[in-house]
Amino acid sequence: MRSALGAAVATGLLLSAAPAHAQVPKDIAEGLKKIGQIVDPACTARLYRPLMPAADFNTYWPVNAPSAVSTARLYPGIDIARDQSFGPNAKDVVDVFTAERKGSNRAVFIYVAGGGGNKIEQQVREGNAFYDNIGRWAVKNGMVGVTVQRHPGSGGWDDGGRDLSMAVDWVKANASKFGGNPDRIFIAAHSAGTGPLGVYVGHPERWKNGVQVKGAIYMSGNPVPGIGGGGGAPGAGRGAPGGAPAGPQPGAACGVGANMGSNDGRIAGPSGQTEAAGFGGGRGRGAFQPPSADELKERDNLPGFKATPVKVMLVRAELDPGVMGDMAAADKALHDEMCAVGRCPAMLFAKEHSHMSEVFSFDTPDTTVSAPILAWLKAIK
């Protein structure tokens, strides 16, 4: 079997994160390199916040008075429908971003956050613009943007996938109301969010309406735990929990003192849940009892990935923890498995980017990640 990178080059699927017309701004690239190969949301936010609008979530939704949200338009030309409910949990909500002049038949771009799953990630007040930046980016590029609020599951291995299935079902049912095309939905997940999205795409038989997206993007995570030796519990094999980044995840390196999901500037209500946990524990049989061989087989996402008609993109940052100048072993292994059945995923190696910068850079002049993703989206028929 050809190597992952060899196959990728041969099929034209290895994308560049540094197109000729764009590059990571020099000062930011130097700042990211100084932070290093760690997961540092607060310090990374400080680097990108100056490239974003002066107004942010705090402008019209004071931290201590969420009921005082203003009816004024936060971002010129963009409407936001906050906390639209899609399921029975109080935190089964999405924010929908649309153009002031909605139009019709626009593609829909759904974003699933990592970390604790906050669709609005509060850092320090002067660094709070995430993840509204992704919703804005979608609208500015002719799409409807949807950011999903994640919450911890009850312990079932498929809890996260089920919640995402409900979110996608809601988006499909309501897309036309927001000017979207219900038959042209794409979804991206970052870090810990890639676990639930892996279960969603890998197990269409478990959801009421199957998988209803045309493309799925996995950023710095592992949608098929255990493949290539990455993700999951040691020695557990595929089907074990996965999706969180490997390597150290220390506190802020720049003295900010606030990390993802911290109490600093906590937002009340569904838009600011702060549990530092993803969807479910993936175990369901007690916290320390590993799943049986039959359970691992049931949970394995790989057969679904090898059969899915959904187009897949794998994104890896150069400064991700544990990365050594190339796509991760798990990315390459999944690529080769899917290529073997004629379903090669695209792969994007984000040069000079870190675990957090690849998503914080959306809707800024740094288009080294967002531009290749946008081109990939547009190429999918």
Instruction: Report helix, strand or coil for 230.
Output: coil
Weakest mean pLDDT among 40-49, 236-245, 318-327, 351-360: 236-245
Report the Cα 75 to chain-centroid distance in Å: 22
The mean per-residue pLDDT over the stretch 273-280 comes to: 37
The mean per-residue pLDDT over the stretch 254-275 comes to: 43
pLDDT (0 to 100) of residue 279: 39
- Cα 121 from Cα 192, distance rounded (Å): 14
- One-letter amino acid at 29 equals A
- Cα 370 from Cα 359, distance rounded (Å): 8
How, if at all, do strands 78-85 and 93-99 pair?
Answer: antiparallel
- Dihedral class, residue 371 (left if φ above 0, else alpha if ψ from -120 to 50, else beta): alpha
- The 8-class DSSP code of residue 75 comes to B
- Cα 369 from Cα 359, distance rounded (Å): 8
The mean per-residue pLDDT over the stretch 290-317 comes to: 95
Band of the pLDDT at 182, cuts 50, 70, 90?
A: very high
The 10s digit of each residue's pLDDT in 140-165 is 999 999 999 998 888 899 999 999 99
**Could you state, in order of their start, the residue ranges of all structural domains in the chain?**
4-379
pLDDT (0 to 100) of residue 121: 80
Core vs surface per residue 41-60: b (16+ CB within 10 A) or e = bbbbbbbbbebbbeebbbee
pLDDT (0 to 100) of residue 9: 37
> Which stretches does DSSP call E strand in 198-277?
215-219
**Check: CATH 3.40.50.1820 for 4-379?**
yes
- Cα 290 from Cα 286, distance rounded (Å): 8
pLDDT (0 to 100) of residue 258: 42
The 10s digit of each residue's pLDDT in 6-64 is 444 333 356 655 554 468 999 999 999 999 999 998 889 999 999 999 888 777 655 44
The mean per-residue pLDDT over the stretch 317-341 comes to: 97
The 10s digit of each residue's pLDDT in 340-372 is 999 999 999 999 999 999 999 999 999 999 999
Do the Cβ atoms of 195 and 225 come closer than 8 Å? yes
Looking up tokens 């008075």 gives: 65
- Dihedral class, residue 105 (left if φ above 0, else alpha if ψ from -120 to 50, else beta): left
